[in-house]
Amino acid sequence: FQNPTFCKIAITPTYLFKEGKQITNTNRLLKEGKYQYPKYIGGKTGYIASAGHNLVAAAEQNGRKLIVVLLGCENIREHFEDAINIFEVAFREKEKKRLLFSKDHECFLRKNSKDEEILKAKLEQDVAVHYFPSEESDLHAKLIWYKLKGPVLKDAVVGKLVVENAAGIELTTAPLLATWTCEKPNFSHWWLWLLGFLFFAGAFTFYKKARKVLKG
Protein backbone atom coordinates (compact mmCIF):
# COMPACT_ATOMS: atom_id res chain seq x y z
CA PHE A 1 0.00 0.00 0.00
CA GLN A 2 3.01 2.28 -0.32
CA ASN A 3 2.64 2.31 -4.09
CA PRO A 4 0.23 5.12 -5.10
CA THR A 5 -0.45 3.56 -8.51
CA PHE A 6 -1.56 0.29 -6.94
CA CYS A 7 -3.76 2.11 -4.42
CA LYS A 8 -5.45 4.09 -7.19
CA ILE A 9 -6.17 0.91 -9.16
CA ALA A 10 -7.37 -0.96 -6.07
CA ILE A 11 -10.11 1.60 -5.30
CA THR A 12 -11.30 2.03 -8.90
CA PRO A 13 -14.76 0.38 -9.27
CA THR A 14 -14.70 0.22 -13.08
CA TYR A 15 -12.29 1.10 -15.87
CA LEU A 16 -13.07 1.81 -19.52
CA PHE A 17 -10.33 1.12 -22.07
CA LYS A 18 -9.89 3.24 -25.19
CA GLU A 19 -11.12 0.32 -27.28
CA GLY A 20 -14.44 0.50 -25.45
CA LYS A 21 -13.94 -2.55 -23.25
CA GLN A 22 -14.90 -2.10 -19.61
CA ILE A 23 -13.72 -4.13 -16.63
CA THR A 24 -15.32 -4.17 -13.17
CA ASN A 25 -13.64 -4.52 -9.80
CA THR A 26 -15.07 -7.57 -8.00
CA ASN A 27 -14.24 -6.22 -4.55
CA ARG A 28 -17.60 -5.62 -2.87
CA LEU A 29 -16.07 -3.35 -0.25
CA LEU A 30 -16.07 -0.74 -3.03
CA LYS A 31 -19.56 -1.23 -4.41
CA GLU A 32 -22.82 0.18 -3.15
CA GLY A 33 -24.63 -2.47 -1.19
CA LYS A 34 -24.43 -4.60 1.92
CA TYR A 35 -20.63 -4.89 1.99
CA GLN A 36 -19.62 -1.39 0.96
CA TYR A 37 -17.11 -0.06 3.50
CA PRO A 38 -16.37 3.70 3.43
CA LYS A 39 -13.10 3.28 5.35
CA TYR A 40 -11.68 0.93 2.73
CA ILE A 41 -8.56 2.33 1.01
CA GLY A 42 -7.36 -0.60 -1.09
CA GLY A 43 -6.87 -4.33 -1.40
CA LYS A 44 -7.11 -7.41 -3.59
CA THR A 45 -9.45 -10.38 -3.80
CA GLY A 46 -8.35 -13.80 -4.97
CA TYR A 47 -9.60 -17.35 -5.46
CA ILE A 48 -8.22 -20.77 -6.33
CA ALA A 49 -9.98 -24.06 -5.67
CA SER A 50 -7.34 -25.39 -3.26
CA ALA A 51 -7.19 -22.21 -1.15
CA GLY A 52 -10.74 -20.89 -1.35
CA HIS A 53 -11.63 -17.21 -1.29
CA ASN A 54 -8.90 -14.87 -0.08
CA LEU A 55 -8.72 -11.15 0.63
CA VAL A 56 -6.12 -8.54 1.52
CA ALA A 57 -7.76 -5.25 2.50
CA ALA A 58 -6.68 -1.97 4.08
CA ALA A 59 -8.81 0.62 5.88
CA GLU A 60 -8.15 3.96 7.53
CA GLN A 61 -9.80 5.91 10.34
CA ASN A 62 -8.45 9.10 11.94
CA GLY A 63 -5.04 8.55 10.38
CA ARG A 64 -4.74 4.97 11.67
CA LYS A 65 -4.28 2.41 8.89
CA LEU A 66 -4.98 -1.30 9.33
CA ILE A 67 -4.51 -4.29 7.04
CA VAL A 68 -6.57 -7.48 7.17
CA VAL A 69 -5.52 -10.73 5.48
CA LEU A 70 -8.12 -13.50 5.15
CA LEU A 71 -7.35 -16.91 3.65
CA GLY A 72 -9.43 -19.98 2.93
CA CYS A 73 -12.92 -18.49 3.26
CA GLU A 74 -15.70 -20.84 2.17
CA ASN A 75 -17.67 -18.32 0.13
CA ILE A 76 -17.21 -14.90 -1.42
CA ARG A 77 -19.43 -13.13 1.13
CA GLU A 78 -17.64 -14.54 4.15
CA HIS A 79 -14.35 -12.71 3.66
CA PHE A 80 -16.08 -9.34 3.15
CA GLU A 81 -18.15 -9.78 6.33
CA ASP A 82 -15.14 -10.95 8.34
CA ALA A 83 -12.96 -8.09 7.07
CA ILE A 84 -15.54 -5.46 8.07
CA ASN A 85 -16.04 -7.04 11.50
CA ILE A 86 -12.30 -7.19 12.18
CA PHE A 87 -11.79 -3.59 11.09
CA GLU A 88 -14.64 -2.33 13.28
CA VAL A 89 -13.44 -4.21 16.37
CA ALA A 90 -9.93 -2.80 15.90
CA PHE A 91 -11.11 0.76 15.24
CA ARG A 92 -13.18 0.71 18.45
CA GLU A 93 -10.06 0.10 20.53
CA LYS A 94 -9.03 2.84 22.93
CA GLU A 95 -5.48 4.11 22.65
CA LYS A 96 -3.37 3.31 25.70
CA LYS A 97 -0.32 4.98 27.21
CA ARG A 98 2.55 2.99 28.69
CA LEU A 99 5.13 4.70 30.89
CA LEU A 100 8.53 3.14 30.26
CA PHE A 101 10.94 5.39 32.18
CA SER A 102 10.25 8.10 34.75
CA LYS A 103 12.45 11.20 34.83
CA ASP A 104 12.11 11.28 38.63
CA HIS A 105 13.26 7.72 39.29
CA GLU A 106 15.60 6.63 36.51
CA CYS A 107 19.36 7.13 36.59
CA PHE A 108 21.90 6.01 34.00
CA LEU A 109 25.62 5.42 34.51
CA ARG A 110 28.36 5.78 31.96
CA LYS A 111 31.48 3.75 32.67
CA ASN A 112 34.91 3.53 31.11
CA SER A 113 36.78 0.42 29.96
CA LYS A 114 37.86 -0.26 33.56
CA ASP A 115 34.22 -0.32 34.69
CA GLU A 116 34.75 2.92 36.59
CA GLU A 117 31.85 5.34 36.84
CA ILE A 118 32.71 8.51 34.95
CA LEU A 119 29.28 10.07 34.43
CA LYS A 120 25.77 9.88 35.85
CA ALA A 121 22.79 11.05 33.81
CA LYS A 122 19.05 11.56 34.23
CA LEU A 123 16.13 11.91 31.84
CA GLU A 124 14.92 15.34 30.81
CA GLN A 125 11.36 14.01 30.51
CA ASP A 126 9.26 10.91 31.09
CA VAL A 127 9.49 8.32 28.32
CA ALA A 128 6.16 6.80 27.27
CA VAL A 129 4.60 5.20 24.21
CA HIS A 130 1.02 5.30 22.93
CA TYR A 131 -0.41 2.20 21.31
CA PHE A 132 -3.55 0.25 20.50
CA PRO A 133 -3.87 -3.18 22.19
CA SER A 134 -4.01 -5.11 18.90
CA GLU A 135 -0.80 -3.41 17.74
CA GLU A 136 1.27 -3.73 20.91
CA SER A 137 4.84 -4.68 20.07
CA ASP A 138 7.92 -5.82 21.96
CA LEU A 139 10.07 -2.81 22.78
CA HIS A 140 13.81 -2.32 23.03
CA ALA A 141 15.61 0.59 24.69
CA LYS A 142 19.20 1.64 24.13
CA LEU A 143 21.50 4.38 25.39
CA ILE A 144 23.51 6.51 23.01
CA TRP A 145 26.28 8.49 24.69
CA TYR A 146 27.74 11.51 22.94
CA LYS A 147 31.46 12.18 22.61
CA LEU A 148 32.25 14.80 25.22
CA LYS A 149 35.07 17.14 26.14
CA GLY A 150 35.68 17.73 29.82
CA PRO A 151 34.56 19.30 31.97
CA VAL A 152 30.91 18.29 31.57
CA LEU A 153 28.60 20.71 33.35
CA LYS A 154 25.53 19.72 35.32
CA ASP A 155 22.37 19.45 33.15
CA ALA A 156 24.41 19.34 29.95
CA VAL A 157 23.01 16.98 27.29
CA VAL A 158 25.34 13.97 27.30
CA GLY A 159 23.33 11.44 25.28
CA LYS A 160 19.88 10.12 24.56
CA LEU A 161 17.61 7.19 25.32
CA VAL A 162 16.06 5.57 22.24
CA VAL A 163 13.03 3.25 22.26
CA GLU A 164 12.42 0.99 19.25
CA ASN A 165 9.82 -1.63 18.39
CA ALA A 166 10.62 -5.22 17.41
CA ALA A 167 11.14 -4.15 13.79
CA GLY A 168 13.82 -1.65 14.82
CA ILE A 169 11.65 1.39 14.09
CA GLU A 170 12.34 4.31 16.42
CA LEU A 171 9.24 5.20 18.46
CA THR A 172 10.52 7.88 20.80
CA THR A 173 13.69 9.45 22.20
CA ALA A 174 14.58 11.48 25.28
CA PRO A 175 17.71 13.53 26.09
CA LEU A 176 20.03 12.47 28.91
CA LEU A 177 21.30 15.22 31.22
CA ALA A 178 24.38 15.12 33.44
CA THR A 179 23.39 15.06 37.13
CA TRP A 180 26.60 16.74 38.30
CA THR A 181 29.65 18.51 36.89
CA CYS A 182 32.30 16.06 35.73
CA GLU A 183 35.84 17.44 35.77
CA LYS A 184 37.49 14.44 34.16
CA PRO A 185 39.13 15.18 30.79
CA ASN A 186 38.20 13.52 27.55
CA PHE A 187 40.77 10.80 26.98
CA SER A 188 39.50 10.26 23.45
CA HIS A 189 41.94 13.08 22.53
CA TRP A 190 44.95 11.28 24.04
CA TRP A 191 47.25 12.61 21.35
CA LEU A 192 46.73 16.18 22.60
CA TRP A 193 47.83 15.12 26.06
CA LEU A 194 50.87 13.38 24.58
CA LEU A 195 51.87 16.49 22.64
CA GLY A 196 51.46 18.57 25.76
CA PHE A 197 53.63 16.20 27.76
CA LEU A 198 56.35 16.20 25.09
CA PHE A 199 56.26 19.99 24.90
CA PHE A 200 56.74 20.47 28.63
CA ALA A 201 59.36 17.72 28.77
CA GLY A 202 61.30 19.45 25.99
CA ALA A 203 60.94 22.83 27.66
CA PHE A 204 62.21 21.42 30.97
CA THR A 205 65.23 19.82 29.26
CA PHE A 206 66.02 23.10 27.49
CA TYR A 207 65.75 24.95 30.82
CA LYS A 208 68.23 22.60 32.50
CA LYS A 209 70.75 22.95 29.65
CA ALA A 210 70.36 26.73 29.66
CA ARG A 211 71.13 26.87 33.40
CA LYS A 212 74.32 24.84 32.89
CA VAL A 213 75.45 27.19 30.13
CA LEU A 214 74.79 30.26 32.27
CA LYS A 215 76.61 28.75 35.25
CA GLY A 216 79.56 27.81 33.06
Task: Convert the pLDDT of each residue in 77-86 to its tens digit.
Answer: 888 999 999 9
* Residue that wins the pLDDT comparison between 62 and 113: 62
CATH number of 96-185: 2.60.410.10
* DSSP assignment letter at 30: T
Task: Convert the pLDDT of each residue in 36-53 to its tens digit.
Answer: 999 999 988 888 888 889
- SS3 labels along 62-79: CCEEEEEEEEEECCHHHH
Is the model's pTM score more than 0.75?
A: no
pLDDT value at residue 204:
56
pLDDT value at residue 197:
54
| Residue 133 to residue 96: CA distance in whole angstroms | 7
| Residue 122 to residue 154: CA distance in whole angstroms | 10
Q: Is the pLDDT of residue 214 over 80?
A: no
Beta carbons within 8 Å of 110's beta carbon, 6+ residues apart = 117, 118, 119, 120, 121, 145, 158, 159
Q: Which of 157, 184, 161 is nearest to 173 (CA)?
A: 161
pLDDT value at residue 185:
43
| Residue 159 to residue 118: CA distance in whole angstroms | 14
Q: Identical fold at 4-91 and 96-185?
A: no
- For the domain made up of 4-91, the CATH class stated in words is alpha beta
φ/ψ of residue 137, rounded to 5: -125, 160
Query: Percent of the chain at pLDDT above 90?
Result: 44
Q: Could you state, in order of their start, the residue ranges of all structural domains in the chain?
A: 4-91, 96-185, 190-216
| Residue 71 to residue 56: CA distance in whole angstroms | 9
- Mean pLDDT of the residues in the chain: 84
Helix or strand (DSSP H, E) at 213: helix 190-215
